[in-house]
Amino acid sequence: MKNLIKFILFLIYTIGIFFIKNYIVLGLIVVFNIILILALKINISNAIKNLVKLLPFILFTVLINILLAELKFAILMGVRLVLVCNLTYTFSKTISNTEIGDVIQKLVYPLKIFKINPREIGLMVTIALSFIPIMKAEFSQIKNVLKVKGIKPTKLNLLKNINLIFRPFFVSILQRLNEIEMSLKAKGYQE
């Protein structure tokens, strides 16, 4: 129940940020986010690295808003995105994939009226969230193999050698999916 309340507050907080137009209030939210990171003992340098990784997306969004709207709105949107990305990182460090799956299962429980199994939806969410780091590791491993073969992993070389990337990637992913399927069957998650 605690995780459900945490998830609902997270959703309200992130959606609410996009309705705030006052820079002073947004500044107070920045201070609150910093206090939250410190209180939860989350590594600040990792939080900053995460924001730096997302910076191209944020800058692209700001640029599009400058072209389509006005500068003030674009800056406001950029600040909002930084806050939401920071809060999402903080939230992801305080809750596990299994706990998120359990929360989703509780949230979709009313779908049982339509004969939809909420346990299966929660399980799918857990598997999907758990699979993201696996995919990232597979891409990293494939890049290392390409380096060993003498192919520099630049974007142009990756596009030229796409068959060397996706064939082993999909074989590996399908093997992992098979392993997950077998382990789920062994645990009794059969249809």
Last residue of a domain, one of 50, 67, 95: 95
25 and 73 co-located in one domain: yes
59 and 119 co-located in one domain: no
pLDDT at 125: 85
19 is a domain residue: yes
Residues near 61 by Cβ (< 8 Å), separated by ≥ 6? 77, 78, 81
Dihedral angle computed from the Cα positions of residues 177, 178, 179 and 184, in that order, rounded to the nearest 10 degrees: 90
66 is a domain residue: yes
Q: Which pairs count as long-range contacts for 186-189, CB under 8 Å and 24+ apart, including other chains?
A: 189/123
6 and 91 co-located in one domain: yes
77 and 110 co-located in one domain: no
Going by pLDDT thresholds of 50, 70 and 90, the confidence category of residue 160 is confident
pLDDT of 164 higher than 80: no
pLDDT of 48 higher than 70: yes
Q: Which pairs count as long-range contacts for 173-176, CB under 8 Å and 24+ apart, including other chains?
A: 173/134, 173/135, 173/138, 176/131, 176/134
40 and 65 co-located in one domain: yes
77 and 115 co-located in one domain: no
Last residue of a domain, one of 95, 130, 159: 95
Last residue of a domain, one of 73, 95, 117: 95
Q: φ and ψ at 22, to 5 degrees?
A: -90, 125
pLDDT at 156: 76
63 is a domain residue: yes
DSSP state of 113: G
136 is a domain residue: yes
Mean pLDDT of the chain: 86
178 and 110 co-located in one domain: yes
| Rounded (to 5) percent helix, strand, coil in the chain | 85, 0, 15
Q: Which residue has the higher pLDDT, 137 or 185?
A: 137
Going by pLDDT thresholds of 50, 70 and 90, the confidence category of residue 49 is very high
100 is a domain residue: no
Task: Tell me the per-residue pLDDT of 80-135, one tens digit each, with 9 for 90 and over.
Answer: 999 999 999 999 898 888 888 889 989 999 988 888 888 888 888 887 887 788 88
pLDDT at 190: 52
Going by pLDDT thresholds of 50, 70 and 90, the confidence category of residue 58 is very high
Would you say 165 and 158 are in contact if contact means Cβ atoms under 8 Å apart? Answer: yes
pLDDT of 56 higher than 90: yes
**Burial category of 76 from C-beta neighbours within 10 Å (exposed 0-12, middle 13-18, buried 19 and up):** buried
89 and 125 co-located in one domain: no
User: In terms of DSSP H, where are the helices of 69-161?
Assistant: 71-94, 97-107, 118-148, 155-160
Query: Quick one: average pLDDT of 17-27?
Result: 90
pLDDT of 191 higher than 70: no
191 is a domain residue: no
Residue 162: give the domain boundaries. Answer: 105-186
Total structural domains within the chain = 2
10 is a domain residue: yes
What whole-number distance in Å separates Cα of residue 183 and Cα of residue 177?
10
